[in-house]
Amino acid sequence: MTNPALHFQQLRKNIRDELADICDFDAACITTIDPATLLSTGSFTDEPIESIHNQLFQNEFLKKDVHQHEDLAKGPVHTASLVQSGEYLNSGRYQHILLPNGWADELRVALVIQGECWGIASLYRKKGKEPFHEQDIQAVSRQSPALAANLRDELFKKRETEADETEEHQGFLILSHDYHLLYGNEAGLHWLHTFQTFEQIHDDAVMPRPFRALGAKLLYGGGDQTAVSISRMPTGLFLSLQAFRLTQATEQEEAVMIHIKRAQTSDILPYAAKTYRLTEREMNVLDCLIKGQSTKEIASTLFISPHTVHDHVKAMLQKTNLSSRRMLVYFFSHI
């Protein structure tokens, strides 16, 4: 049995290694992304970048900068170099974070397939080296859909793991503005340690990336009072992470409470739909199937013919490689 604590970290490291085969760089940060919220669900970060990781995190939410994750994920261009694009002079990230710490260029690529972003790869070259060339950008861009597909497909692979009784417990953590732990209930501390183990974080004071991403979204991202993301543990369990901005007394820094619980099927289905390329209408049919409706009832609910219902079910069976309607319902009800 694969050690679940190493599985996703190894997956992120494999992406780094695949990119290293086609493009020369001195350090990298490979971040998996919640495709619905574009928040980090974890990252593999080379040691030289780890020391500035918090600054990069805050830059992502505190100020508008060039080549930010959301822009690359949603825009027409998914791969860009700060120097090659000519945007480095307009980038606070470059001027105030990268350049002072010895980095000459950054190449970012959003790992996008079929319009959904599953990760961000950030590659760095040291001072004294030439910046990334156009051929580097093109090589990374060509490879990115395959890397995105691998991330997407791995997300929903079944895992052979032992049950964890803590799965049904709801955890609470309160973090300071600089991500220090102020409070955690027993389940919250369990999940904190679990995330740290899965990300191979050995310092108990260091918050895992999904928690930092939620905190940054609230504290530096504007006026939002809540932020939500879905994170899948390497064991296969989906967790819902919901963060709330806490109002502090006068002159005290703001804090964030994170509520951690097992995700419900209704929370997970949109992610499953992205993975198995289900259309909106197929999702409507699937929702009716899970509710126990018959073909006739589904046709009436969705104002389509019974024949069209059968066509949608057949298409979903082909996409999921399942053989019956019963198996389809069972599979999506037990993700």
Residues of the chain with CATH 3.30.450.20: 165-266
Please give the pLDDT value at position 231: 83
Give every CB contact of residue 250 below 8 A, 6+ residues apart in sequence: none
Q: Give me the sign of the Cα torsion angle 189, 191, 197, 203.
A: negative
The encoded tokens of residue 97 equal 């974070």
The answer, as to whether pTM is greater than 0.85, is no
Q: Are the C-beta atoms of 285 and 313 separated by less than 8 Å?
A: yes
pLDDT tens by residue, the chain, 335 residues: 445 556 777 888 999 999 999 999 999 999 988 887 788 888 889 999 988 988 888 888 777 899 999 999 999 999 999 999 999 999 999 999 999 999 999 999 999 988 889 999 999 999 999 999 999 999 999 999 999 988 887 776 655 545 556 667 899 999 998 889 999 999 999 999 988 887 778 888 889 888 988 888 887 766 778 888 888 776 678 889 999 998 765 566 789 999 999 888 878 887 778 778 889 899 999 999 999 999 999 999 999 999 999 999 999 999 888 889 998 988 887 76
Other CB atoms within a 10 A radius of the CB of residue 60 amount to: 23
Please give the pLDDT value at position 68: 93
Q: Are the C-beta atoms of 61 and 213 separated by less than 8 Å?
A: no
Instruction: Quote the radius of gyration of the chain (alpha carbons, Å).
Output: 21
- What is the CATH code of the structural domain delimited by 4-155? 3.30.450.40
DSSP state, residue 249: S
Please give the pLDDT value at position 276: 81
Nearest-angstrom CA–CA distance, 41 and 29? 13
Residues of the chain with CATH 3.30.450.40: 4-155
Please give the pLDDT value at position 281: 93
Nearest-angstrom CA–CA distance, 300 and 147? 41
Residues of the chain with CATH 1.10.10.10: 276-333
Q: Are the C-beta atoms of 41 and 34 separated by less than 8 Å?
A: yes
Q: Are the C-beta atoms of 289 and 313 separated by less than 8 Å?
A: yes
CATH topology for 165-266? Beta-Lactamase (3.30.450)
Please give the pLDDT value at position 1: 43
Please give the pLDDT value at position 222: 65
Nearest-angstrom CA–CA distance, 9 and 42? 8
- What is the CATH code of the structural domain delimited by 276-333? 1.10.10.10
State the residue for tokens 């995105």: 148
